[in-house]
Amino acid sequence: MRIAVPDLVSNSYFPAVAAIELGFFQAQGIAAELEMVFPVGRAMEALRDGSIDFVAGPAHATLSAFPGWQGARLLAALSQHTFWLLVLRSDLGVRPGNVAAIRGLRIGAAPGPDAALRRLLVDSGIDLERDDVALAPAPGSGDAGVSFGIHAARALEEGTIDGFWANAMGAEVAVRSGIGSVVLDPRRGLGPPSARDYTFAALVTTDRLIDDSPDTAEGAVRAVVAAQNALRADPSRAAEVGRRLFPPDEAALIEDLVRRDAPYYAAEISPDSVASLNEFSRNIGRLSGDAAYEQVVASQFARLWSER
């Protein structure tokens, strides 16, 4: 089974990565292989076309390849709530939560995650054109094997952008170097309240796989839940994964990030989360009308989300 992530050196989709690297997929009898496919829209297209079996990515991105939630569903949440942060140059002296400070700046954001920032700015009364906000991928971030968050932190240091919207790994690199400061963190209430539940990290697969191989889908959910439980109980296990997969500097950070994020590592997908996800998807033009909970979520596996 091939599992795609749009950003490997990241805490955002880490429970899926850990589920492979710590042997939880293997314990379910699933030979799982990790593959980085960027941007997330391309990963979803690969899922649709059958070259990938699962995607660990933002839930709303599923709609980029499966309009109207036709053909794919969410198996489990990898973590709860919107998980990207806005980092601006620290020399700007912007106080946390000051969305208006983005006016006139160059902001790096990857395709897919950028939709959440665009909507956050609308909800905050910011118009990209009127307020002269340049929002685009960081230069060079589309090159093969590039981790967007880490690349964006380097671009910030080089001065090619004034800020970026990315995962907490990229944010941590920028903050520890002194070049960046976190201005928005919707998951923790730093930003407009509506932004907290735009989307969440999820494990996604096709209806085809669920129908043809329900035991595999169930095993994948069990593997992710086991990884979440293990990381909450002992965040130091993240370091083992980091040493195998990450560059040395980022490997040294992942344990602290996982320890910080551990309270959000829960597989449950609530009806309220799906309602917010659908509203966000409508607002960004990815969904017309509504979609029932069972159309979005493979709810037959819900009994597994609370396993210990």
Q: Write out pLDDT tens, residues 164-206.
A: 999 999 999 999 999 999 999 999 999 999 999 999 999 999 9
The two domains 2-80+200-304 and 85-194 share their CATH topology (first three levels equal) = yes
Q: What is the pTM of this model?
A: 0.95
Q: Which residues of the chain have pLDDT under 50?
A: none
CA distance 127 to 106: 14
Q: Which helix (H) or strand (E) holds 79?
A: strand 72-79
Name the one residue in this structure whose structure tokens are 């040493």. Answer: 243
- pLDDT computed for residue 214 by the predictor: 98
- pLDDT computed for residue 227 by the predictor: 98
CATH code at 85-194: 3.40.190.10
- pLDDT computed for residue 127 by the predictor: 97
Length of the chain (residues) = 308
- pLDDT computed for residue 279 by the predictor: 98
- pLDDT computed for residue 161 by the predictor: 97
- pLDDT computed for residue 12 by the predictor: 85
- pLDDT computed for residue 28 by the predictor: 98
CA distance 44 to 177: 34
**DSSP class per residue in 100-124:** GGGTT-EEEE-TTTHHHHHHHHHHT
- pLDDT computed for residue 142 by the predictor: 65
Render the burial of 16-55: b for 16+ CB within 10 Å, e for the rest.
bbbbbbbebbeebebebebebbbbbbbbbbbbbeeebbbb
CA distance 32 to 226: 15
- pLDDT computed for residue 141 by the predictor: 65
- pLDDT computed for residue 146 by the predictor: 64
Q: Give the start-to-end residue ranges of the domains of the chain.
A: 2-80+200-304, 85-194
| Protein fold of 2-80+200-304 | D-Maltodextrin-Binding Protein; domain 2 (3.40.190)
CA distance 245 to 265: 20
